[in-house]
Protein backbone atom coordinates (compact mmCIF):
# COMPACT_ATOMS: atom_id res chain seq x y z
CA UNK A 1 0.00 0.00 0.00
CA UNK A 2 2.99 2.35 0.38
CA UNK A 3 4.47 1.43 -3.00
CA UNK A 4 4.96 4.24 -5.50
CA UNK A 5 2.29 4.67 -8.16
CA UNK A 6 2.77 2.76 -11.40
CA UNK A 7 2.80 6.00 -13.38
CA UNK A 8 5.90 7.16 -11.47
CA UNK A 9 7.89 4.55 -13.39
CA UNK A 10 7.21 6.41 -16.65
CA UNK A 11 5.82 9.89 -15.97
CA UNK A 12 3.29 10.97 -18.60
CA UNK A 13 3.93 13.96 -20.87
CA UNK A 14 0.43 15.22 -19.96
CA UNK A 15 -0.35 17.32 -16.90
CA UNK A 16 -3.26 19.01 -15.15
CA UNK A 17 -6.63 17.36 -14.68
CA UNK A 18 -6.26 14.90 -17.57
CA UNK A 19 -2.80 13.86 -16.38
CA UNK A 20 -4.25 13.11 -12.95
CA UNK A 21 -7.09 11.06 -14.45
CA UNK A 22 -4.70 9.07 -16.66
CA UNK A 23 -2.43 8.37 -13.67
CA UNK A 24 -5.47 6.88 -11.86
CA UNK A 25 -6.41 4.87 -14.96
CA UNK A 26 -2.88 3.45 -15.15
CA UNK A 27 -2.81 2.65 -11.42
CA UNK A 28 -6.02 0.59 -11.68
CA UNK A 29 -4.21 -1.76 -14.07
CA UNK A 30 -3.19 -3.48 -10.81
CA UNK A 31 -6.73 -4.91 -10.49
CA UNK A 32 -5.72 -7.39 -13.23
CA UNK A 33 -3.21 -8.89 -10.80
CA UNK A 34 -5.51 -9.39 -7.79
CA UNK A 35 -6.27 -13.11 -7.77
CA UNK A 36 -9.55 -14.49 -6.49
CA UNK A 37 -10.27 -17.91 -5.03
CA UNK A 38 -12.40 -18.96 -8.05
CA UNK A 39 -11.04 -20.78 -11.08
CA UNK A 40 -12.19 -19.95 -14.61
CA UNK A 41 -14.70 -22.09 -16.49
CA UNK A 42 -12.71 -21.85 -19.73
CA UNK A 43 -9.25 -22.87 -18.45
CA UNK A 44 -7.78 -24.11 -15.19
CA UNK A 45 -6.35 -21.00 -13.57
CA UNK A 46 -7.56 -18.53 -10.97
CA UNK A 47 -9.72 -15.59 -11.94
CA UNK A 48 -8.57 -12.04 -11.28
CA UNK A 49 -10.66 -9.09 -10.12
CA UNK A 50 -10.65 -7.28 -13.46
CA UNK A 51 -11.98 -10.36 -15.26
CA UNK A 52 -14.57 -10.87 -12.53
CA UNK A 53 -15.68 -7.22 -12.71
CA UNK A 54 -16.07 -7.44 -16.48
CA UNK A 55 -18.09 -10.63 -16.14
CA UNK A 56 -20.48 -8.92 -13.71
CA UNK A 57 -20.79 -5.93 -16.06
CA UNK A 58 -22.16 -8.30 -18.71
CA UNK A 59 -24.28 -10.39 -16.31
CA UNK A 60 -26.11 -7.30 -15.07
CA UNK A 61 -27.79 -6.33 -18.37
CA UNK A 62 -28.46 -9.98 -19.31
CA UNK A 63 -30.12 -10.79 -15.96
CA UNK A 64 -31.64 -7.40 -15.04
CA UNK A 65 -35.14 -8.63 -15.90
CA UNK A 66 -35.03 -10.82 -12.78
CA UNK A 67 -34.56 -7.94 -10.31
CA UNK A 68 -37.54 -7.91 -7.94
CA UNK A 69 -37.41 -4.11 -7.63
CA UNK A 70 -36.99 -1.87 -10.71
CA UNK A 71 -33.32 -0.99 -11.30
CA UNK A 72 -31.41 1.47 -13.46
CA UNK A 73 -29.28 -0.98 -15.44
CA UNK A 74 -26.61 1.52 -16.49
CA UNK A 75 -26.10 2.62 -12.90
CA UNK A 76 -25.90 -0.98 -11.72
CA UNK A 77 -23.20 -1.68 -14.32
CA UNK A 78 -21.18 1.26 -12.97
CA UNK A 79 -21.45 -0.17 -9.46
CA UNK A 80 -19.99 -3.52 -10.49
CA UNK A 81 -17.22 -1.95 -12.60
CA UNK A 82 -16.06 -0.02 -9.51
CA UNK A 83 -16.96 -2.43 -6.68
CA UNK A 84 -13.63 -4.28 -6.37
CA UNK A 85 -11.21 -1.40 -7.01
CA UNK A 86 -10.23 -1.11 -3.34
CA UNK A 87 -8.83 -4.65 -3.54
CA UNK A 88 -5.91 -3.17 -5.50
CA UNK A 89 -4.48 -2.19 -2.12
CA UNK A 90 -6.61 -4.25 0.29
CA UNK A 91 -6.40 -7.59 -1.57
CA UNK A 92 -9.25 -10.02 -2.22
CA UNK A 93 -10.99 -11.42 0.84
CA UNK A 94 -12.35 -14.89 -0.02
CA UNK A 95 -15.90 -15.37 1.17
CA UNK A 96 -15.04 -18.50 3.18
CA UNK A 97 -11.95 -16.98 4.85
CA UNK A 98 -13.35 -15.80 8.18
CA UNK A 99 -9.94 -14.77 9.47
CA UNK A 100 -9.32 -12.28 6.64
CA UNK A 101 -12.92 -11.10 6.91
CA UNK A 102 -12.40 -9.71 10.43
CA UNK A 103 -10.42 -6.63 9.39
CA UNK A 104 -11.68 -6.45 5.79
CA UNK A 105 -13.73 -3.27 6.31
CA UNK A 106 -10.81 -1.41 7.88
CA UNK A 107 -8.36 -2.43 5.14
CA UNK A 108 -10.80 -1.51 2.40
CA UNK A 109 -11.61 1.92 3.84
CA UNK A 110 -7.93 2.86 3.90
CA UNK A 111 -7.54 1.56 0.35
CA UNK A 112 -10.55 3.58 -0.86
CA UNK A 113 -9.07 6.78 0.59
CA UNK A 114 -5.80 6.19 -1.21
CA UNK A 115 -7.17 5.00 -4.57
CA UNK A 116 -10.08 7.37 -5.14
CA UNK A 117 -7.90 10.19 -3.81
CA UNK A 118 -5.82 9.92 -6.98
CA UNK A 119 -8.73 11.40 -8.97
CA UNK A 120 -9.61 15.11 -9.16
CA UNK A 121 -11.74 15.94 -6.09
CA UNK A 122 -15.12 15.97 -7.88
CA UNK A 123 -14.50 12.54 -9.41
CA UNK A 124 -12.97 11.18 -6.21
CA UNK A 125 -16.32 11.95 -4.53
CA UNK A 126 -18.31 10.48 -7.45
CA UNK A 127 -16.45 7.16 -7.59
CA UNK A 128 -16.17 6.85 -3.82
CA UNK A 129 -19.96 7.30 -3.64
CA UNK A 130 -20.44 4.41 -6.09
CA UNK A 131 -18.26 2.17 -3.94
CA UNK A 132 -20.05 3.24 -0.73
CA UNK A 133 -23.42 2.61 -2.39
CA UNK A 134 -22.38 -0.92 -3.37
CA UNK A 135 -21.07 -1.69 0.10
CA UNK A 136 -24.09 -0.30 1.97
CA UNK A 137 -26.67 -2.09 -0.18
CA UNK A 138 -29.35 0.46 0.53
CA UNK A 139 -30.47 0.96 -3.09
CA UNK A 140 -32.14 -1.61 -5.37
CA UNK A 141 -29.18 -1.24 -7.77
CA UNK A 142 -26.65 -2.02 -5.03
CA UNK A 143 -28.66 -5.04 -3.85
CA UNK A 144 -28.87 -6.41 -7.40
CA UNK A 145 -25.16 -5.73 -8.01
CA UNK A 146 -24.30 -7.62 -4.83
CA UNK A 147 -26.54 -10.53 -5.88
CA UNK A 148 -24.71 -10.80 -9.21
CA UNK A 149 -21.36 -10.53 -7.40
CA UNK A 150 -22.39 -13.55 -5.32
CA UNK A 151 -23.84 -15.52 -8.23
CA UNK A 152 -20.82 -15.35 -10.56
CA UNK A 153 -18.32 -17.35 -8.44
CA UNK A 154 -21.02 -19.95 -7.83
CA UNK A 155 -21.44 -20.45 -11.58
CA UNK A 156 -17.66 -20.93 -11.73
CA UNK A 157 -17.85 -23.41 -8.82
CA UNK A 158 -20.49 -25.36 -10.71
CA UNK A 159 -18.26 -25.48 -13.80
CA UNK A 160 -15.28 -26.54 -11.65
CA UNK A 161 -17.29 -29.33 -10.04
CA UNK A 162 -16.75 -27.87 -6.58
CA UNK A 163 -14.23 -25.02 -6.55
CA UNK A 164 -14.45 -23.00 -3.34
CA UNK A 165 -17.48 -25.06 -2.24
CA UNK A 166 -14.86 -27.69 -1.32
CA UNK A 167 -13.10 -25.36 1.17
CA UNK A 168 -12.65 -27.30 4.46
CA UNK A 169 -15.50 -26.55 6.87
CA UNK A 170 -17.89 -25.40 4.15
CA UNK A 171 -21.17 -27.34 3.79
CA UNK A 172 -24.22 -26.88 1.60
CA UNK A 173 -25.87 -24.95 4.43
CA UNK A 174 -22.90 -22.58 4.71
CA UNK A 175 -23.23 -21.91 0.97
CA UNK A 176 -27.00 -21.39 1.36
CA UNK A 177 -26.39 -18.87 4.10
CA UNK A 178 -23.63 -16.96 2.26
CA UNK A 179 -25.72 -16.68 -0.92
CA UNK A 180 -28.92 -15.44 0.71
CA UNK A 181 -28.26 -11.97 -0.72
CA UNK A 182 -29.14 -13.32 -4.13
CA UNK A 183 -32.73 -14.19 -3.23
CA UNK A 184 -33.14 -10.87 -1.42
CA UNK A 185 -32.62 -9.00 -4.71
CA UNK A 186 -34.13 -11.53 -7.11
CA UNK A 187 -36.42 -14.39 -6.23
CA UNK A 188 -35.76 -16.08 -9.61
CA UNK A 189 -31.99 -15.94 -9.22
CA UNK A 190 -32.31 -17.01 -5.59
CA UNK A 191 -34.21 -20.07 -6.76
CA UNK A 192 -31.56 -20.81 -9.41
CA UNK A 193 -28.85 -20.52 -6.75
CA UNK A 194 -30.70 -23.01 -4.53
CA UNK A 195 -30.96 -25.41 -7.49
CA UNK A 196 -27.19 -25.17 -7.99
CA UNK A 197 -26.55 -25.96 -4.32
CA UNK A 198 -28.94 -28.92 -4.30
CA UNK A 199 -27.35 -30.24 -7.50
CA UNK A 200 -23.84 -29.74 -6.09
CA UNK A 201 -24.82 -31.56 -2.89
CA UNK A 202 -26.15 -34.48 -4.95
CA UNK A 203 -22.97 -34.55 -7.11
CA UNK A 204 -20.65 -34.45 -4.08
CA UNK A 205 -19.29 -31.01 -5.05
CA UNK A 206 -20.07 -29.62 -1.59
CA UNK A 207 -20.31 -31.36 1.79
CA UNK A 208 -23.91 -32.28 2.54
CA UNK A 209 -26.17 -31.12 5.32
CA UNK A 210 -25.69 -28.98 8.32
CA UNK A 211 -22.17 -29.72 9.58
CA UNK A 212 -20.24 -26.64 10.62
CA UNK A 213 -21.44 -23.19 11.55
CA UNK A 214 -23.12 -21.26 8.74
CA UNK A 215 -21.65 -18.07 10.27
CA UNK A 216 -22.57 -14.56 9.14
CA UNK A 217 -24.14 -14.23 5.69
Among residues 35, 195, 208, 217, which is the contact residue for a copy of itself, using CB under 8 A?
195
> CA 46, CA 171: separation in Å to the nearest integer?
22
| Contact range with a copy of itself by CB under 8 A, out of 106-114, 137-145, 177-185, 190-198 | 190-198
CB of 166 to a copy of itself, least distance (A): 15
User: Is 207 exposed, middle or buried (CB count within 10 Å of its CB: 0-12, 13-18, 19+)?
Assistant: buried
CB of 82 to a copy of itself, least distance (A): 7
> CA 44, CA 203: separation in Å to the nearest integer?
20
Cβ closer to a copy of itself: 101 or 166? 166
Q: What are the C-alpha distances in Å from 84 to residues 44, 91, 166, 192, 212?
A: 22, 9, 24, 25, 29
Among residues 105, 169, 187, 199, which is the contact residue for a copy of itself, using CB under 8 A?
199
CA-derived radius of gyration, the chain: 18
How many chain residues touch a copy of itself (CB under 8 A)? Answer: 60
Q: Are 22 and 12 in contact (CB under 8 A)?
A: yes
> Rounded to an integer, what is the distance from CA 102 to the centroid of its chain?
17
Give the footprint of a copy of itself on residues 26-55 (CB under 8 A): 26, 28-33, 40-43, 47-48, 50-51, 53-55
Among residues 78, 83, 143, 146, which is the contact residue for a copy of itself, using CB under 8 A?
78
Give the footprint of a copy of itself on residues 123-182 (CB under 8 A): 123, 127, 155-156, 158-159, 161
- Quick one: CA dihedral 180, 109, 104, 33, positive or negative? positive
User: Is 203 exposed, middle or buried (CB count within 10 Å of its CB: 0-12, 13-18, 19+)?
Assistant: exposed
Which residues contact a copy of itself (rule: CB under 8 A)? 6-7, 9-10, 12-14, 18, 21-22, 24-26, 28-33, 40-43, 47-48, 50-51, 53-55, 57-59, 61-63, 66, 72-75, 77-78, 81-82, 119, 123, 127, 155-156, 158-159, 161, 188-189, 192, 195-196, 198-199
Amino acid sequence: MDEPLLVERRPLPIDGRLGQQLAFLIEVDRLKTVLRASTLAAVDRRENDAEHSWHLALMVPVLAEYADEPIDVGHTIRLVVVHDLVEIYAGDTPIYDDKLRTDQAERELAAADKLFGLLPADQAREFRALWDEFEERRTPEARFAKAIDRLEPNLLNWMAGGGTWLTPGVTADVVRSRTEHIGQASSALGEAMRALITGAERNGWVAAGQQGDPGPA
